Amino acid sequence: MKSYIKGMGTYVPDRIVTNDDLAKRFDTSDEWIRQRTGIEERRYAEEGIGTSDLAKEAAVRAAADAGIEIEQIDFIILGTLSPDHHFPGTACYLQPKLELAGVPCLDIRQQCTGWVYGMTLADSLIKTGPYQNILLVGSEVHSHALHFDDAGRDVTVIFGDGAGAAIVSPAPEGSERGVLAHALHADGRHADRLCYRLFDISRIPLADAEYLESVENAWPYMEGRHVFKEAVVRMPEVVREVLASTGHTIDDIDLLVPHQANLRINEYVVSSLGIAPEKVINNIQRFGNTTAASIPIALDEARRNGQVSQGDLVCLVAFGAGFTWGAVTLRL
């Protein structure tokens, strides 16, 4: 038995924030941001709107696209690095918004690789369990926890808010559609190079004022160059690995959907793999890095604009905090 994507949905907040808007708040420029990252604008949620709210809108759209009623969803997997609360998981806040009491809920905290890990998990649950319609959603509201100051500018300019979702179901019998292979990795020796230590409550008492006053602890911390250097090696490596596991080659790929962290990273990946740029989707220019949501948002856009069709070979590839990385191949 195979699992396949039955339907997809995207939701991004209406509010567009341009590079020039950011340059009014701290020392940066449209030129710097475009040149280093390719980003032109991103979306920000309004105050009071959280990750589970965006996830709900994407989920409703994915169910409609799949032609199912919300109540047919029988498992919820949610990837995020910007949870509604430290605990419980954000899937538990999404579930009542969808009126799905009783349906199992699972958060995965694999950051930018969240949706690739989630797709692997959904595929395994379909193959081994009784599930018919798994909601897999990546959702992020970063904008409420970014440092709008010169000290946080390297991180702040990159991230945006948004959600992308899929309904993952057993593939129709005899169909060529469905997940073909996955390859997942992690190397926690790099965990402290891209992290958010604010909720370090198992090690440091939350009331430790000195700890909280440190900029490195109070705001997301990133060693950008180190992340960049690892990403451009790990992403092509894992694409080759996942293709080799089913005897496919780079030429067989109809669409590569890379995580949208930095357009320059993706340009390196494309040239390293030797894949034609028209077989790759990039939309970071308009959304920034939406972490766990970036792959479903990009894949959904490619489906809707005709860049990919049913039955095409699609390769999803991501790299992110942890470090974690992975790839999935599927026939759409």
Tell me the catalytic residues.
Answer: 112, 259, 289
Between 244 and 283, how does the x/- string for binding to ligand COA read (CB under 6 A)?
Answer: -----------------xx--x------------------
* Cα–Cα distance measured from residue 33 to residue 42, given in angstroms and rounded to the nearest whole number: 12
Residue 5 backbone dihedrals phi, psi, to 5 degrees:
-85, 115
Q: At what angle do helices 224-244 and 263-273 cross, to 10 degrees?
A: 40
Q: Is 3 exposed, middle or buried (0-12, 13-18, 19+ CB in 10 A)?
A: buried
Of 139, 289, 290, 329, the one binding ligand COA by CB under 6 A: 289
The residue of the chain with the least Cβ separation from ligand COA equals 224
Taking the mean position of all CA atoms in its chain, how far away is CA 199?
Answer: 21
How is residue 56 written in tokens? 């709900």
For residue 38, give the DSSP letter: -
Least Å distance between CB 100 and ligand COA? 31
Q: Write down the least CB distance from residue 128 to ligand COA, Å.
A: 30
Contacts of 278 (CB under 8 A, 6+ apart): none
Only one residue has tokens 């498992």, namely 75
- The residue among 197 and 248 lying less far from ligand COA, judged by its C-beta, is 197
Nearer to ligand COA, 39 or 179 (CB): 39
Could you tell me the smallest distance in angstroms from the CB atom of residue 223 to ligand COA?
8
Q: Which of 144, 224, 237, 286: binder of ligand COA (CB under 6 A)?
A: 224
Element (H, E) at 203: none
- The one-character DSSP state at 5 is E
Q: Give the nearest distance from C-beta 287 to ligand COA in angstroms.
A: 14
- The answer to whether residues 170 and 126 touch, using CB atoms and an 8 Å cutoff, is yes
Compute the Cα dihedral for 228, 232, 234, 239 and give only its sign.
Answer: positive
* Of 41 and 57, CB closest to ligand COA: 41
How many residues form the binding site for ligand COA (CB under 6 A)? 22
In the complex, least distance from residue 289 CB atom to ligand COA, rounded to whole angstroms: 6
Q: Which is nearer to ligand COA, 212 or 233 (CB)?
A: 233
Among the residue ranges 120-128, 153-161, 168-176, 268-276, the one whose residues contact ligand COA (CB under 6 A): 153-161
Q: Which two structure tokens, joined as six digits, stand for 87?
A: 């605990």
Contacts of 230 (CB under 8 A, 6+ apart): 190, 319, 323
Kindly write out the interface string for residues 178-207 of this chain, putting x where it contacts ligand COA by CB under 6 A and - elsewhere: ----------------x-------------
Return the residues of window 19-58 that contact ligand COA according to CB under 6 A: 28, 32, 36-37
Q: Which helix (H) or strand (E) holds 286?
A: helix 284-287
Whole-number Å distance between alpha carbons of 224 and 217: 17
Looking at the Cβ atoms of 112 and 302, the one nearer to ligand COA is: 112
Which residues sit at the interface with ligand COA, rule CB under 6 A? 28, 32, 36-37, 112, 153-154, 157-158, 194, 222, 224-225, 227-228, 231, 261-262, 265, 289, 319-320
